[in-house]
Amino acid sequence: MSEDHSTEPTEPTGPEVTNIEMTALPAEADDSDDLVSLLHVHVLRQLRQAQRNLLAVKSLSSLVKYLLEDFPQGFGSPQAELRLYDPEEQIARLLPIRKLFGASLSLKTDSYALYQLYHDVPETAIIDLDDRRMFTILSGASNAAGAVMMPLFDGKRLVGSYHIALTDKMTSYGAQELELFAMLGQLVAAALLRVVEYQRVDQLTLLNPVTEVGNLRAFRRDMLREIYWARRVNHPMTLLYISLDELADICKSYGEVACHFVQRRVSQRLCSELRATDYIAHISATHFSVLLPACNEPHAHDIGERMRQDIDEFAIDDGRGAVLHVSLSIGLVCWEPSRHPVESSERLATQMESEAEAAMQKAERGGGNRISVARLGLLML
């Protein structure tokens, strides 16, 4: 819980690859030598373009989209595939949209699965239909006449394998093209290592230091991304704003250390109520927010009510003889794309935050320990 497609970017808050230049595979020439020359020029041109685009990529999702969609499309390939070594599931956490790419992207916890793809020492290879490896890679490219396999290295450590399907026109690739593909593999590996490290460091700035869940910056990034996906798949999403009713009194009576302890214990308890696809953030001293993707208002109300009852009955032992209690005031607002179409994700996010916060304050004014529901109006959006 909390860390690019259509007319709106996949990661609205992050830099994107723009102005991607592509060329189609050249038509066959009359003379075979001319064809080989044209193929060589085509691969060289694509390599130069790929170098510019890979240097511009700032996020892991942008990189994966480029490798699996943009590059093969411009290259004239029917499909590409990316397999990455991810023993600690770091890439999985940094790439929450990986399911979009289906079987074209796979994450491996055992590097042996990558080494098995290559003969002896992993090195760039151009293979055809006579090679048995064609039965284990690029399963969706039924019309492929061959493939390029590019190992991705971090120093001497194999961290991935990038595969591009080849068509009949590409079967004339030889030593010059193989050398260019090896260079492409090096560029891809360098870009992968760079963006993973960049996002890993960036993630550290997205955590609340007290509860170690997402902070306000993380919440707003997740919010924009989930709004985009909700629009894409036409699923509802719900936002909860949560206030810890008695936290100020605990801080006054028991001190800041006890206050932080309660915040951590409550956040842990709230996390246990959520699905793997939900997001929780600690957005201020006394407030949390919870994003529930693909969740309509009745279902979200049930989740919020379960949270409220659980925390109301939750006795927090501070380890020094005191048993502390808090309750929750929850504001709820749901958005359904089919009922409330919007043009601006940023405007919708602001409106949902405002409505959820107002509903939470209404619950607080009503005595706390309750849920208040707000609803978006058409004119608001």
The domains located in the chain, with CATH, are 32-204 (3.30.450.40), 216-380 (3.30.70.270)
Question: Is the overall model pTM greater than 0.75, yes or no?
Answer: no
pLDDT at 20 over 90: no
Q: Which residue has the higher pLDDT, 339 or 41?
A: 339
Q: Is the pLDDT of residue 33 over 90?
A: no
- For residues 325 and 315, is the Cβ–Cβ distance under 8 A? yes
Per-residue pLDDT band at 252 (split at 50, 70, 90)? confident
Provide Rg for the chain, Cα atoms. Answer: 26
Q: Which amino acid is at 150?
A: M
Section 306-313 average pLDDT: 94
* CB-CB neighbours of 208 under 10 Å: 21
CB contact burial 247-274 (16+ within 10 A = b; e otherwise): beebbeebeeebbebbbbbbbeebeeeb
pLDDT at 45: 85
Start-end of H helices in 86-153: 90-94, 112-115
Percent of the chain with pLDDT over 90: 46
The whole-angstrom separation of Cα 130 and Cα 144 is 12
Q: What is the pLDDT of residues 129-163, one digit of tens each?
A: 888 888 889 887 778 889 999 999 999 999 999 99
pLDDT band at 99 (very low <50, low <70, confident <90, very high): confident
* pLDDT at residue 27 greater than cutoff 80: no
Res 244 pLDDT > 60: yes
pLDDT at residue 141, as a whole number: 74
Tell me the mean pLDDT in the region 297-311. 95
So what's the pLDDT on residue 370? 95
Q: 105-122 pLDDT, tens per residue?
A: 999 998 898 999 998 889
Q: What is the pLDDT of residue 16?
A: 39
Q: Which two tokens mark 180?
A: 């260019």
The model's confidence at residue 84, banded by pLDDT at 50, 70 and 90, is very high
Joined tokens for residue 190: 């360098």
What's the rounded Cα separation, in Å, for the pair 221 and 240? Answer: 16
Cβ neighbours around 118 below 10 Å, total: 16
Provide the CA 375 distance to its chain's centre, in angstroms. 28
pLDDT of residue 12: 41
CA of residue 246 relative to chain centroid, distance: 35
For residues 308 and 326, what is the distance between their CA atoms, to the nearest angstrom? 10
Q: Which residues contact 235 (CB under 8 A, 6 or more apart)?
A: 229, 293, 294, 337
| Contact assessment for residue 245 and residue 328, using Cβ atoms and an 8 Å cutoff | yes
* The pLDDT value given to residue 30: 45
| pLDDT higher than 90, residue 381 | no
Highest-confidence range of 8-12, 13-17, 110-114, 319-323, by mean pLDDT?
A: 110-114
Mind listing the pLDDT tens digit for each residue in 180-210? Answer: 899 999 999 999 999 998 888 777 777 888 8
Say which residue, 254 or 235, is predicted with more confidence: 235
pLDDT of residue 359: 96
Residue of 224, 282, 267 whose CA lies nearest to 97: 224
| Structural tokens at position 41 | 């020029």
Tell me, what's the pLDDT at 38?
Answer: 59
What does 259-305 look like in DSSP terms, one character per residue? HHHHHHHHHHHHHHTS-TT-EEEE-SSSEEEEEEET--HHHHHHHHH
The stretch 298-304 carries a mean pLDDT of 95
> What average pLDDT does the structure give for the chain?
84
Confidence (pLDDT) at 37: 60
Nearest residue to 380 (alpha-carbon basis) of 337, 336, 360, 350: 350
pLDDT > 70: what percent of the chain?
Answer: 88
